Amino acid sequence: MRKSILIKVFAYLIFVFSCWFLAFNFCSAAPLDNIPTNSWIYDAIDYLKTSGYIKSIPPTSKPWTRQEVINLLKSSSINKTFSNAQAVFYINRLLSEFSDDLLMDLKIDRRKPLIEIDYGQGDLLVNPYLRFIHSKLPFWLTPYGNNIFPDNQTGTFGLVFNLDQNSKISLYQNSDITYFVKKIFDSDSTDTHIPHVPGTRFTQSVQYLSLQEHVRFDTKVAYIAFPLYFLTVELGRDYLYLGPGYRSSVLLSDIAPSMDQIQLRATGKTYKALWFCSALSPWYYYHRFLTGQRIEFNLGKHIKIGGTIQTVFSFDSLQTKSFWGYLNPLIANYMEMHESGHDDNLLVGFDFVTYIKQSKIYGQLMIDNYEFNKRPTRPPNAYGLTLGTYLPCHQFAMRAEYSKITRYTYYHRILHIAYASYSVPLGHSLGPDADELFLRFEYYPINKLRLDLVASLTRRGDGNQGSLDNKTWEDGEPRPTTFPSSPVEKITLVGPEIYYQPRFDLTVQAGVYYNNDKKINSFLKLEYQL
């Protein structure tokens, strides 16, 4: 009964949004395509902003739209005579990326706007790509994107369908076929939750062909977005990344499969507001949803702060006492839950970024289901935090980031409203009861090559390992007195990395790492845009 009511509600919402689209999609024009959360564009803007070439403060939530990047570039004072090889490399790449669709009258002049834009009708584009990935790294250490997982090799052929950036709306789809060198999972396993295709939304099936152990088809991103007065409405499947963390976000990262969602956002020169309601993977017969509200805004010319409230809930659950309020973007999630006595999983996050003398300093704090009590019979308050800095200096740059996630974070005392989807936590890739210090020294010898030296120290406690039951609070369980919880596993990785792009459509990333167990770990990614 409840399921049929929910289907009717979503059908009604889609109908209403469709009517708005037909009535208002020609009222304004903007390139609304989202830039994938693992794109090189974020590193490029990060470097140019921190080095002083971009005046505006970039958003701290991802994905950005192409329009947001254009607005950042329009605030720039960029000249081809700069001697900084890496700055010139990123500038040329950005101009090449946006020139075909948006740069109708490009003028590089320090006294004039970088970009002039003219909109047309828009055409459907098809962009094929090939990708090969080799990875022998622990999952929490895998760098560079949401589709990389440990101890496997994959080959992927994919297609991206989208309207060009002269269109007044955004219609985007990214689908691919991936071949796994090793079996995805053991067909004889009886665990119905843990085994799943890494990076996708496919769980283990009871019966399947042997070919499906190696080959999977997946649509990672598929959405339509259109303007509605000062709002942008997005319907479909996409990733979200909330916060300034580089390695991962402690609040909402992109390591889990992308989410099917309804999203509203408003973007201005000094603020960005976001509301979304997403479907998560089911837990047995429980349907689960994640709804969130976020706002970020500038404090002066050098500081941006942000705040987010999120709730995991299930209309099948006795814990949820008011399902409809979570679908209303005008109702505060915190009040809807706490003032009504709900037991849904509430997460609150705060973050900041500041730019001081060509350096970037940032931080994020996430509180998971804060209990406002000290009774030993209640679960301990759980939280995650990240502190980091980025310091570019001509041909060199340094990143340093520390992340800490306490025990029971993400995994609620009630498993079916755990902060996870397809057995993957939606926050930091470390998971609960773990911390990490990450360092990277970057060197740019020429404008197509970056050489890095990476070092990381990771500690994993007892609550980070084993089954979901070991990561979840149980009534009467004693509170942990140390962090991380004993026994503790320590992992140190040190090694060089290389990022090489001989052409704009060909990217090579590789790394070799030595760990404290005297083992060699490696990582290789080749991607070619056809």
Give the three-class secondary structure for 338: helix
Residue 133: the pLDDT is: 85
Residue 5's CB: how many other CB atoms inside 10 A?
Answer: 12
Query: Which CATH code, of 2.40.160.130, 2.130.10.10, 3.75.10.10, 1.10.260.30, is assigned to 2-529?
Result: 2.40.160.130
Q: List all residues 6 or more positions away from 232 whose beta carbon is below 8 Å from its beta carbon.
A: 32, 65, 225, 226, 264, 265, 266, 267
* pLDDT value of position 19: 45
Look at residue 300 and give its three-state secondary structure: coil
Question: Whole-angstrom Cα distance, residue 213 to residue 35?
Answer: 31
What is the rounded distance in angstroms from the CA atom of residue 199 to the CA atom of residue 154?
12
Residues facing residue 177 across a β-bridge: 157, 217
Task: Indicate the length of the chain as a whole number.
Answer: 530
N- to C-terminal Cα separation, the chain: 49
Given a contact cutoff of 8 angstroms between Cβ atoms, the answer to whether 395 and 85 are in contact is yes
What is the residue-wise DSSP string for 64-78?
Answer: PBHHHHHHHHHTB--
Q: Write down the pLDDT at residue 110.
A: 38
Q: Exposed/middle/buried for 344, CB within 10 Å: 0-12, 13-18, 19+?
A: buried
pLDDT value, residue 472: 82
Q: According to the model, what pLDDT value does residue 200 have?
A: 64
Cβ burial of 238 (10 Å; 0-12, 13-18, 19+) is buried
The torsion angles phi and psi of 104, rounded to 5 degrees, stand at -85, -30
Q: What is the CA radius of gyration of the chain?
A: 23
- Could you tell me the sign of the dihedral formed by the alpha carbons of 457, 365, 35, 355, in that order? negative
Reading the block at residue 48, the tokens are 């140019």
Q: Where are the domains of the chain?
A: 2-529
Q: Sign of the C-alpha dihedral, residues 194, 196, 202, 207?
A: negative
SS3 369: coil
What's the average pLDDT block by block, 10 residues per block, for the chain (530 residues)? 49 45 39 85 90 88 89 69 68 74 42 43 81 76 51 84 80 88 53 51 52 77 89 92 92 88 91 93 86 92 92 79 79 76 84 92 89 64 92 89 92 83 84 92 85 92 81 74 86 91 85 85 87
pLDDT tens, 81-98? 555 667 777 887 887 777
pTM of the entire predicted model: 0.84
Q: Kindly report the backbone phi and psi dihedral angles of residue 409, in degrees, each rounded to the nearest multiple of 5, phi listed first.
A: -65, 140
Find where tokens 């041909």 sit.
395
pLDDT at 413: 77
Helices assigned H by DSSP within 58-189: 66-74, 85-102
Report d(CA 488, CA 435) in Å as an integer: 11
Q: CA–CA distance from 382 to each of 205, 338, 378, 465 (Å)?
A: 34, 17, 12, 17
List the one residue out of 473, 482, 310 whose CA is nearest residue 380. 473
Q: What is the pLDDT of residue 179?
A: 84
The C-alpha angle 259, 260, 262, rounded to 5 degrees, equals 115
Q: Give the C-alpha separation, 153 to 525, whole Å.
A: 10
In this structure, what token pair is assigned to residue 116?
A: 């002039």
Eight-class DSSP state of 24: H
